[in-house]
Amino acid sequence: PLIVHWPEGLGATGGIRTQYQHVTDLLPTLAELTGVEIPTAKHGAPLPAPAGASFVPALHDATAPSTHPEQYYEMIGHRGFYRDGWSAVTCRQPRTPFSEETWELHHLSEDPTEARDLAAERPDKVAELTGAWEEAALANQVLPLDEGNFVKMIQRPPYEAEHVAVTRLRPGMATLERWRALQLIVFRSFEVRIELAYAIGDQGMLFAHGDQGGGYAMYVEDGRLRFVHNGYGTMTEVDCGELGAGTDEIVLDMENEGSLRWNARIRVGGEQVAEALGLAVLMAMAPFEGIDVGIDRRSPVSWDVYERHGPFPYTGELTAVTYVPGPLAPDAGERFLDYLKEAGTRYE
């Protein structure tokens, strides 16, 4: 259920709404309630209009009509289409042709639990909704279908490779956006090279990638270099020793050995000073925040550090932090896909 609580703005409490709405309606609804104008362009390029529609009328009036009369669905091969109280759905059977699947039909206005399949009684309605699903799928990049074998997720579009490149970040820059930052580390080894001019007494966050849900960071506290890795809540903290005055280079070497494990090695002035082996590889939902340089904005990688120092801005001279993407892990997704292709060819 969606629970909405705003006594000052919505008045009466305890009401129930049965209008059909979709998750895409949340943005336009919140924008209308708060008076925020949804942007139509970014950096001079037009933005697509929100896919949903505000349901503020339903919040004020239980009898107001739905503002979202139809919606397509697809999830790991399961398909569905809703229109004006009717729903057509499939239940995917693995390794069977999509064209042979049976569509069920339910009248949600009278049967919200979908207990009665009306497909045999209303073939006209089935044809209407399945045709609408096909049109929506073509218009919204739903095709080609897969049944959750993740090949579609593993085989990435060519343009993503353009972002797997040496990336130099400077203090004062905005956070490097989450997706862009993830391309530098996902399924691969990488290095983080820190250029600075350390003086005794300098301290703060050198860089941070991620948040409380997962990430890694390097900082200086009380004259000592420290590395922290947040493996989905499992914290690993490494004391890398005291920094000498004049230190100008620190390198974090993250080796992806496969089996979803990283080996972290820290070098100062070319000499290894610490390591942490077998760390959890971060991907998908973590890191959910991008890369900060000289500070750890918003949700922190280490809550302990945040409790002591807040976002912990670096006080010394920090020139840049450079990410150098390395080779893919032996069992990375792209290589796994190559393995599947080779295995399939051999069986043929």
Q: Is 87 exposed, middle or buried (0-12, 13-18, 19+ CB in 10 A)?
A: buried
Q: What is the span of the domain harbouring residue 79?
A: 69-149
Both tokens of 81, joined, read 């289409």
* Measured distance between the N- and C-terminal CA atoms of the chain, rounded to whole angstroms: 49
Domain co-membership, 25 together with 86: no
Least confident range of 108-112, 257-261, 262-266, 329-333: 329-333
In which band, very low, low, confident or very high, does the pLDDT at 283 lie, cut at 50, 70 and 90?
Answer: confident
Read off the amino acid at residue 300: P
- Stretch 10-15: mean pLDDT: 78
Residue that is last in its domain, among 120, 149, 178: 149
What confidence score (pLDDT) does residue 147 get?
Answer: 75
Angstrom distance (rounded) from CA 275 to CA 188: 18
What confidence score (pLDDT) does residue 22 get?
Answer: 95
Domain co-membership, 281 together with 170: yes
Identify whether 323 is part of a domain.
yes
- Stretch 135-139: mean pLDDT: 95
Identify whether 279 is part of a domain.
yes
Distances (CA, A) of 217 to 163, 233, 245, 342: 21, 14, 21, 39
User: Is residue 338 left, alpha or beta, with left meaning phi > 0 and alpha meaning psi from -120 to 50?
Assistant: alpha
What confidence score (pLDDT) does residue 154 get?
Answer: 64
**Residue 193, domain CATH:** 2.60.120.200
Domain co-membership, 260 together with 319: yes
Count of the separate structural domains present in the chain: 3
pLDDT at 339 over 60: no
Both tokens of 328, joined, read 């893919």
In which band, very low, low, confident or very high, does the pLDDT at 340 lie, cut at 50, 70 and 90?
Answer: low
Angstrom distance (rounded) from CA 304 to CA 306: 5
Domain co-membership, 137 together with 181: no
Identify whether 23 is part of a domain.
yes
Domain co-membership, 212 together with 319: yes
Domain co-membership, 162 together with 125: no
- Stretch 94-118: mean pLDDT: 92
Place of tokens 């897969």: 146
Residue that is last in its domain, among 149, 174, 209: 149
- Mean of pLDDT over the chain: 92
pLDDT at 135 over 70: yes
pLDDT tens digits for range 107-127: 999 999 999 999 999 999 999
Residue that is last in its domain, among 116, 149, 182: 149
Domain co-membership, 197 together with 58: no
Domain co-membership, 168 together with 302: yes
